[in-house]
A and B are shown apart, each in its own frame.
Chain A
Amino acid sequence: MEALFYIFSIIAIFSALMVISVKNPLTSALYIILCFFALAGFYILLNMQFLAAMQILVYAGAIAVIIVLAIMLLNLAKTKGAIKDFHQLVIGIIAVGLLFLEVILYIDAAGEKKPTGIYTNAIINKVGNTQIIGEFLFTKYVFPFEVASILLLVAVIGAYIFAKK
């Protein structure tokens, strides 16, 4: 398990770095698909197989295909100068480094916490995580579920209006 964790983290971090550093947006899109697969591996290690399947279907399947479609439609070969000016690069790296340091300090400062829920790995494996998620979605979280469907409708209409001549 530890070896798998390290393999997935190395692949995820490497591909994330490649996403923001390669020049061609199509290569970025391919690297982000690799990153999505590595994250799906994390979800399986965390005993959430349904989310791993959703990760691959929705992210690596749908969203990455939309990106590649956008790249195909837009003829991006002409865009040059991938990175903004030098000052923005320096300020960005320092700001993100500080953010990283702060979050790491915050994680270190958080002490041990007792598990509060009842959904241990044994129960999840016994019932099946798809069934548990489905029950939650249609009982406790039914209102956000309906709102999410309206959000998707709005997104479809909005995309049509934006892309329309």
Chain B
Amino acid sequence: MMTSRALHGPARAVVIGLGLLVAWQALVMATALPPYILPDPLRVMTALVVHAASIGRHAAITLTEIVLGLGIGIALGAASALLIVAFRPARRWLLPLLVVSQAVPVFALAPLLVLWLGYGLASKVAMAAVIIYFPVTAAFSDGLRRADPGWLDLALSMDASRLASLRHIRAPAALPALASGVRVATAVAPIGAVVGEWVGASAGLGYLMLHANARMQIDLMFAALLILGAIAVALYFAVDRLLKRLMPWQPESSPAED
């Protein structure tokens, strides 16, 4: 336990990054694959620098798609969960819809979304939102339904209306569950955006990668992939951090400390 504690987060990230680079370089040298199959790190870094402006532009678009998709998907998911729990008719009508939205392979919807919403931002935002809608709704509605019955008895003795209980007890009690949903959403939202870009787009990192692949610019493709990965990881940790700050009462215990 001490050894894992001795290195702080950033230092550990650097070590992991360096380790991956070394492994990558070793793989290139050992397999002697041509650069158009597996470029070495230096070549990719060079591509990153050379194409910095272009990658940056495409990255900004993809990031916008992811963030907008996240925002819309989380808002819709949370609202649906509240509706499901607050109104019994909503449960009957929304639940089947929810199951269908998850049973249909979301990727199969991508061509449709592009057809309907065009090649621009909207279809990718919709794709990301659709893909995260279910995990957010499921996590939050579960949390809303699992509020401590003791709290609800207490609310009953305080003459709380159902809506007041929902607002002041069920909803805050379900925030940790919502947070789990949001974490999953943050991890999968980039998938939605990139798949959307693959199906039809004129900008974004997914588009850039397809484009580079077609022109055998594998180093550029890797550079775009690297940035995509960096965005996804940074976004996840930013969201994770924000969620922890929003819920300071939520105790955390690591199994390693038992």
A and B pair up: no
